[in-house]
Amino acid sequence: MKTDTIFYRLFQEIPSIFFELIDESPALAENYEFASIEVKQTAFRIDGVFLPQESTEDPIYFLEVQFQLDEDLYNRFFAELFIYIRQNKPSNNWKGVIIYPTRSIETGDIKYYEEFFLSQRVRVIYLDEIEETTSLPIGIATIKLIITNEEAAITQARALIDRTKQEVNSQAQRQQILEIIETILIYKFPRMNREEIESMFGLSDLKQTRFYQEAREEGLEQGLEQGKLEAKLEAVPGLVGLGLSQEQIAQVLNLSIDEVRKIVEKISR
């Protein structure tokens, strides 16, 4: 599963989930804009940054989502963070959040940065250690679905869809959550075709979601079902039009950056 893409979409579309995850008021999301930021003149890209939208005392939040072993993670994270501060000189203070699926993935040595962790200026969250309860906020329950095994994922997704329909009053936000749940399941069950996935939840649920509408229009649906390179390449222009970066498109379609770049250059002529 392309977890970076899913988390980026999740926090960009429903930023209140991030603040629930760090035990802050979801209402704080109204004060922030979420983005992935490339640090100039380096090969660094910060996974996600919550930037205060106005001149307030709210801190900048630097976010890293790490689902693979990486012994150099903390060195890279703090290098990116401080290069960003040097280049941009923000007036706001900062905090950091690092999300792991499980504690066993964390292999980095924090000896150079121990004070940041002890002071809770940088927080580490292990998704599998978030207590599983029926009262868990829908947003956090959606995040936990990402790490749920296939056997339990279908049951949990069905329960999440039911809760979303009953508890989320905003039609726009309800639709966003349903789309994200759907996308997570598509990545979790790549061998299943559209009809099989639709049968899990009912045809109307999936027909109303934006993902399949866009997929049908841009040819991505064919790529998901048949795995043909041609169909994936045909989907690239549509995803460019939706505002995805070349790196994100490559992750979503499981293509190389070069393959995506050639298509983008072709349509730009």
Average pLDDT over the chain, rounded to an integer: 80
Q: Which residue bears the tokens 């499981």?
A: 254
Domain boundaries, the chain: 3-206, 209-269
Residue 199 has pLDDT above 80, yes or no: no
Verdict on whether the full-model pTM lies above 0.85 = no
Residue 164 has pLDDT above 70, yes or no: yes
Residue 223 has pLDDT above 60, yes or no: no
Q: Which two tokens stand for residue 256?
A: 């190389």
Render the burial of 18-36: b for 16+ CB within 10 Å, e for the rest. bbbbeeeebebbeebebeb
Task: Output the pLDDT for position 187.
Answer: 77
CA gyration radius for the chain? 19
The most confident of the ranges 81-90, 182-191, 211-220 is 81-90
Residue 47: pLDDT band with limits 50, 70, 90: confident
Cα gap 15→188, rounded to integer Å: 23
Residue 162 has pLDDT above 70, yes or no: yes
Task: Output the pLDDT for position 212.
Answer: 54
What percent of the chain shows pLDDT beyond 90? Answer: 29
Cα gap 197→189, rounded to integer Å: 8
What's the length of the chain? 269
